[in-house]
A and B are shown apart, each in its own frame.
Chain A
């Protein structure tokens, strides 16, 4: 089946099997391997991405369900400069092996977006869909709290369709993309 999915601002049109999961589309068809797969039962959350502005586990979405949608992965979160949540994770040692980190950060961004004053208990509860085996969560919780404090809700790719100012770099990139099309 033909699908067209916008990932990190670029359109990807591919012919996929109906059973193809969004995470496999992202990893195998598009080649963005920052989104990891840690289970086969939708428990671990390592594969969390933003789908039309919501954090979803991309192993529970079929690629065909995402046809026409806009997806942000961990690779698209930074815009030349690290996202506040990415900075917070390194500042507060919110990762060890780094395997759960992409999903953890993508969940955290959406968790704090609407709750900049989020309390520790709410962070812990909000991370219930993301498993980490290394950190005991202590420093992940600290990272998310720090990320919330530093949070700039206007992360680059999720401005569409809302009207926000975009960076020069993004404007240039879009212009190049348009001229190629």
Chain B
């Protein structure tokens, strides 16, 4: 009889790794099918133009070319517009059509105008240059606020003022809060556009089976079940005739949630040619035609009493949606943003107007954090301004306004009910780890010598673990947010766990195996987690919004409990004991006090699968299927502290220290959780220090390659110091909260506030991100001139 070591909370090495460290990853572009043709997309070089004519004849005659198709032909074959899956209620949302290949108008640089199919990718690419498109250029608008002004060019003729929606959130008496305030601070924040830049570019391989009238699509997706559902809407192929496989996916960060035009294009082309068709984007295409993130202009104000009590927050936000609505784009700047404006604080009155705006730019959708980083930045920026105005330490201001500990729900002014929280211990631990008081003394000493040292502190909470399906429906999300799982024991005692979520780097093949191992006493290596294939997994809504572990673990636990009950019945029968006398622990069903005579779960799996002798009323087989629709979202929280030093001569920022104390509930695999936090911190800090997408007035993306868009490198970064507290949620059986986005949500305001803390005494009030040396140097220079 063996006992398996309990693995919950252990840094078990990842089961995903062996194939990935030996070059055997199954990324979509690595796949190939017999007879496969290659697709390359002809893209618009103009941000806004009428397509007057397209001549494909020269391209079609080029070597290796097997087909050239336009949007008209795709529409004629019955392919409809790309659906938007989120229409926020009470916002008068306009949903202009989004043909997968533009038919008469192109609306951003990178908009597809034709596709070329050839025997090789190089031949297809050569032929794209021979597709002759006659454009008539139209007026261009790229800035979301400018797009709403009178006379701005219209991206879609039918959408007046380029306004896609106007959404509001309101709670408490905001007018009263501001009229009673001793201090009001405010700022116009440009939360700049970011390019997600998953290291694996997108790819899609479609294989139409004309005999079965069905299609298989291998695709770089975070949510293959959603992809299948949405594909059934625009391709006209019924959902049960579509198989979507997301094999190994090389990072997503939100950019692989959307149903993209190219997914439908390869299916269309495969139907036309009756051959498999593969498309893989170049990095430049990725920057042009894969969704971007953020891009808000926000006018924010906060009201407070002179003792530091926060009274209210109000804001107007213009959210750039790009040229078309991507899958979740309207939900990001509204539900995932506006509802989080209370942050970790008691703010009695909150009001925000959000204007979703079309522009001639790449569509904007979720990017790591998706709405919550923008909200957290607004709140945390205002907190620092209030502290400065009142000459209070920013830590003390935060401590004064933190929501007190709660274990069973806390409602904030926006209407959200946070699940559980205990914010001060995380703050105290972070201050202790950082040596905050000493650091402030050193900062003063350094400042006296003319050195510009800054410290930024942020206490955050965020909404994740999306979420209760009833809420999904109420806020206009076009799907559910529950998860399902099947735990299947084979006769030999080995286990398949099939889940509807679709991890792509987050390590749940390991984490979920740990849950099964810990609960049922089988070795981690004996559990294969199956995900990413709609034909092999039960329905689920995918991996985003830090939902995979908090939601799917509920379904896994449901199946586990069912197996424990069934195993107890079978064991009682085999042991000739009463059911109530049988207990289960560490993989063994036994009569209390006689564990040695007990039956292992593998014995039970064999007995149930053979079914030679089953108790009355118990079915053969040893598997269970479970669904979990969470009762609430989960709200992880924590405190982050950063230290920077700015070189007054050059404006360069030395990113020196970063302490993060996060609380995501009980931790299943600390190694994996720390990895998530590290990666998150860097993406958030990168928004402050390096990254920013930029369009010129003609709508050209001037940061269209990795030469121009600054992805952080190892040498830019300090070593991170992590701490944790563990406050379980009560919305799932394991008490776990999500952790995929906390780093990003916390780090942007933390690093920004640190830099501003270094510069504020010089009179520098604000610098738009990213804080490049030139901008910082100019700000210092201007402040000093102004002071003279």
Contacts and interface: CB of A to CB of B under 8 A. Distances in A.
Does A associate with B in a complex? yes
Interface of A: 17, 19, 27, 32-41, 43-44, 46, 73-75, 77-78, 82, 86, 89-91, 93, 95-102, 105, 120-121, 123-125, 127-128, 130-141
Contact of A101 (B21, B682, B717): B21
Given A128-B714, A138-B719, A105 B21 contact: yes
Nearest to A35: B23
B679 to A, nearest CB: 5
Given A41-B706, A100-B199, A133-B197, 5 more contacts: A36-B29, A36-B250, A43-B711, A97-B198, A132-B714
A34 B25 contact: yes
17 contacts: A17-B122, A36-B27, A40-B283, A41-B283, A96-B506, A96-B675, A98-B19, A98-B250, A101-B21, A132-B714, A134-B199, A135-B678, A136-B679, A137-B682, A137-B713, A138-B717, A139-B674
B23 A73 contact: yes
B20 interface: yes
Q: With a 10 A CB-CB cut-off, give which of B13, B19, B250, B505 has the most chain A CB atoms.
A: B250
A131 B713 contact: yes
Nearest to B25: A98
Contacts of A135: 675, 678-679
A82 B22 CA distance: 8
Contacts of A105: 21
Nearest to A43: B706
Contacts of B199: 36, 38, 44, 46, 97, 99-100, 131-134
Contacts of B715: 121, 124-125, 127-128
A32 B201 CA distance: 18
A134 B20 contact: no
Q: Ordered nearest first, which 6 A-B pairs have the shortest CB separation?
A: A34-B23, A99-B250, A98-B20, A97-B505, A74-B23, A136-B678
B141 to A, nearest CB: 29
Contacts of A134: 199, 251, 505, 675, 679
Given A127-B714, A128-B713, A139-B675, A43 B21 contact: no
A127 to B, nearest CB: 4
Interface in B173-228: 197-201
B599 to A, nearest CB: 35
A139 to B, nearest CB: 6
Contacts of B13: 90-91, 93
Interface string B704-731: 0111000111110101100000000000
Given A41-B283, A98-B16, A98-B25, A93 B250 contact: no
A99 B253 CA distance: 14
A136 to B, nearest CB: 4
B19 to A, nearest CB: 8
Q: With a 10 A CB-CB cut-off, give which of A33, A38, A98, A135 has the most chain B CB atoms.
A: A98
Contacts of A140: 714
B672 interface: yes
Interface in B6-43: 11, 13-14, 16-25, 27, 29-30
A142 to B, nearest CB: 9
B714 to A, nearest CB: 4
Contacts of B248: 97-98
B200 A36 contact: yes
A40 B282 contact: yes
Does more than half of chain A's interface fall in helix, strand or loop, or is it mixed?
A: loop
B200 A97 contact: yes
B446 interface: no
B610 interface: no
B23 A33 contact: yes
Contacts of B707: 41, 43
Contacts of B251: 96-97, 99, 133-134
A44 B20 CA distance: 17
Contact of A133 (B16, B29, B198, B671): B198
B284 interface: yes
Contact of B200 (A41, A75, A90, A99): A99
Contacts of B678: 135-139
A101 B20 contact: yes
Contacts of B671: 93
B504 interface: yes
B58 to A, nearest CB: 21
A90 B713 contact: no
B249 interface: yes
Contacts of B282: 40
Nearest to B669: A93
Contacts of B736: none
Nearest to B685: A136
Contacts of A120: 719
Contacts of A43: 705-707, 711
A10 to B, nearest CB: 15
A32 B23 CA distance: 8
Contacts of B22: 34, 74-75, 77-78, 82, 86
Interface string B663-693: 0000000011011001111110000000000
B12 to A, nearest CB: 11
A27 to B, nearest CB: 8
Contacts of A32: 23
A9 to B, nearest CB: 15
Contacts of B717: 124, 136-138
A46 B284 CA distance: 16
Nearest to B676: A96
A55 B504 CA distance: 28
B473 interface: no
Q: With a 10 A CB-CB cut-off, give which of B17, B30, B681 has the most chain A CB atoms.
A: B17
B682 A136 contact: yes
A33 B27 CA distance: 9
B714 A39 contact: no
A89 B17 contact: yes
B507 interface: yes
A38 B25 contact: no
B18 A90 contact: yes
A139 B505 CA distance: 14
B706 A39 contact: yes
A169 to B, nearest CB: 16
A11 B19 CA distance: 24
A130 B714 CA distance: 9
A141 B711 CA distance: 17
B680 to A, nearest CB: 8
Nearest to A120: B719
A2 B329 CA distance: 50
Contacts of A124: 713-715, 717
B646 to A, nearest CB: 21
Nearest to B715: A124
A35 B23 CA distance: 7
A93 B200 CA distance: 19
Contacts of B198: 97, 99, 133
A86 B28 CA distance: 23
Contacts of B675: 93, 96, 134-135, 138-139
A97 B17 contact: no
Contacts of A93: 11, 13-14, 671-672, 674-675
